[in-house]
Amino acid sequence: MRFQQKPVEEQVVVVTGASSGIGLATARLLAERGARRLVLVARNADALRQIADELNRAGTRTLAVPADVSRYEDLEQVARQTIDTFGGFDTWINDAAVTLYGSLDRIPMQDQRRLFEVNYWGVVYGSTIAAEHLRKRGGTIINVGSVLSERAMMLQTQYSASKHAVKGFTDGFRMELENEGAPVWLCLIKPSSIDTPYVEHARNYLDAEAAVPPPSYDPHLVARAIVFAAENKRREMTIGFGGWAIGAMGKVAPRMVDRAMEWTGYSSQTTHHPERPGMRDNLYRARQDGDMYSSLPGEPRKTSLLLEAQMHPVATTAILAGIGAAVAALLLPLRSSRRRPHRRPAPPYRTVTRRLGNGHDKHGPGPGYMSRRMEPGARPQARH
């Protein structure tokens, strides 16, 4: 499966869910980056045409194709119209999704099925249709999942389950394409809480307005990840350390994380801030679109160090290695000085000359020896 991804300036890109939120942010960023052809897909025909006109005026040739991703024939029409207009496409982005808020005992089965038709089957339809075309020319399929594919969230149980399914499908389909040697690469994008109209578009069965758990991140960060994945082969990319950390902790201490999320699950996903009524509930039909952000108060985070690390792994590794070496250089002398034994100073002893033998190994004066130093007139020692 050897093929070279083109720069986005040379690509034709299809974006589903392009009328708001992450899809809209991605379409605008692709246009800023110079993508020569864009195909925008969503149910809201009026909003889609307005966005296409905006991008066309900015110099990007943009085609708006109204479609419901839960209908296979609609996405087939998107592919045919793209091929007829632009001769084909290089990257297909599956971003469209809907959501439900509420406990399972309050959500009708019909609504739960509808969510899976959009979130899961929409990705399956888009991926298989795109792969059929890309097998001949090479390209990339990007599926927008969620960190909830790693850790389910109460009161969004069906949404979490659909994102688990998207992850499983993406991983399995990637292996099948790689095994057959097809020049097609699949990437899974996993956003954390993103400040988009997602919560206002939700069908809500709670007794309060819906919200995303903090911290929330700017949709432009997800758009950056998507555009990067269109040019660079990445298996997965996660946006937002908060969501990644919850997923990682859930693998290490699942019961502890369960209890923590049960304790905060309701309060972190509800708000008393009024939502825009024109956007409410797009489960079965399109509602007000055209905005990247929600109306919730607060400023989303504009940066994600985790995303930067995934986009630049070599530089990140070098920086971390340098930091580790610097820390080791600072701690090593300190630790070695602590381990050095304390020695008492030696007392100022006089130098002592050691004598060998028992004193009989030296020749000494015998009996009757008269010292030459005797004073005159002194009596000599008697001989024995």
Which domains does the chain show, CATH number per domain?
A: 8-323 (3.40.50.720)
Reported confidence tier of residue 242, pLDDT bands at 50, 70, 90: confident
Say whether 301 sits in a helix, a strand or coil.
strand
The answer to whether residue 159 is catalytic is yes
Reported confidence tier of residue 226, pLDDT bands at 50, 70, 90: very high
Give the model confidence (pLDDT) of 214-224 as tens digits.
Answer: 999 999 999 99
CA count, 13 A, side-chain hemisphere, 308? 8
For every residue of 132-199, DSSP letters joined together read: HHHHHH-EEEEEE--GGGTS--TT-HHHHHHHHHHHHHHHHHHHHHHHHT-SEEEEEEEE-SB-STHH
Show Cβ contacts of residue 42 under 8 Å, excluding neighbours closer than 6 positions: 16, 17, 18, 19, 20, 23, 48, 66, 67, 96, 286, 289
Reported confidence tier of residue 353, pLDDT bands at 50, 70, 90: low
- Of 101, 125, 159, 198, the active-site residue reads 159
Give CA–CA dist 201/287, Å, rounded. 8
Give the model confidence (pLDDT) of 174-186 as tens digits.
Answer: 999 999 999 999 9
pTM, to two decimals = 0.82
Compute and round to an integer the Cα radius of gyration of the chain.
Answer: 38
Say whether 50 sits in a helix, a strand or coil.
helix
